[in-house]
Amino acid sequence: MDLSPHLRWFLLKEEDPRSGPWNMAVDEHLFRSLTEEPRTVVRFYQWERPTASLGCGQAAEKVIDMGFCRANGVDVVRRMTGGKLVLHHHEVTYSICSSDVETFSLTVAGSYRLISEGLIQGLARLGLDPVLAGAPPSSYARGTMPCFAHPGRDEVEIDGRKIIGSAQKRTGGKFLQHGSIPLAADEALLRAVSRKDFGADEIRMISLSEASGRPVSYESAVEHLVSGLAEFFKVAFEPLRMTGEDLAAIEHLRANKYATGAWTFRAETGA
């Protein structure tokens, strides 16, 4: 029996880590592929090297130590979404693209909260007790601290520490939201990558392994997150098949946008 588009979502679960420019190009391609017809795609992926991602409006020179990154093999990319600096390393990264306005709110805040609640359902299946975070202090919202320095409103936290950091891009009824879920935190590397000097208690992040008290693998985390999303949204997943045309479009975006300094280091006046 065919399910309605509101009840059937597509799943792209990637086993092999890929480069930062490729990962960002895939997410943008999935977003661009949305039409007015209701469709939702959930993707899980990894990064082949430690990679710092900038929000689309951030000025690189204000938030990232490029000398350290170049000397220590840390890649740098710019996202199409907003938000703050994120270091992608030993993590599960998710993205959700949707044009389903019946399931998701037409507002950034509404859809953001729904996705957080679905991810919470997945983390609960790992035996964790995550909750939605309240409003962050104004100093964090206005400042240049990294994303994982503090939970933002309706992000996911455990014991007051952020476990999922997300950002969203919306155009009308279509949106892309993607986010970072650390499997194991590397606060020392995050501090080294960031240009901001901050105290020992100013990074309020926690990883899946620390929260669980045991190592959590990418495969295990993804399995539970998929189950949690399916249960919360009451949907069935169907594998997404990439065509040669899809891959060519992604490669074009990678080579001509995300792998270029013109995009990554463009002059901005944001935080």
Residue 144 phi/psi, 5° resolution?
Answer: -110, 20
- Helices in the chain by DSSP H: which ranges? 20-32, 60-63, 66-71, 108-124, 138-142, 187-193, 208-212, 218-233, 244-253, 261-264
Q: Give one DSSP letter per residue of 203-268, joined into a string.
A: --B--HHHHHTS---HHHHHHHHHHHHHHHHT-EEEEPPPPHHHHHHHHHHIIIIITSHHHHT---
CA proximity to 205, closest of 105, 60, 100, 84: 84
Number of H helices, E strands in the chain: 10, 11
Q: Is 97 a catalytic residue?
A: no
Q: Which of 56, 69, 97, 147 is catalytic?
A: 147
Residue 95 phi/psi, 5° resolution?
Answer: -140, 145
How far is C-alpha 188 from the geometric centre of its chain's CA atoms? 21
Sheet containing 86-88: order of strands: 75-78, 51-54, 86-88
Residue 165 phi/psi, 5° resolution?
Answer: -115, 130
Q: Which residues are catalytic?
A: 147
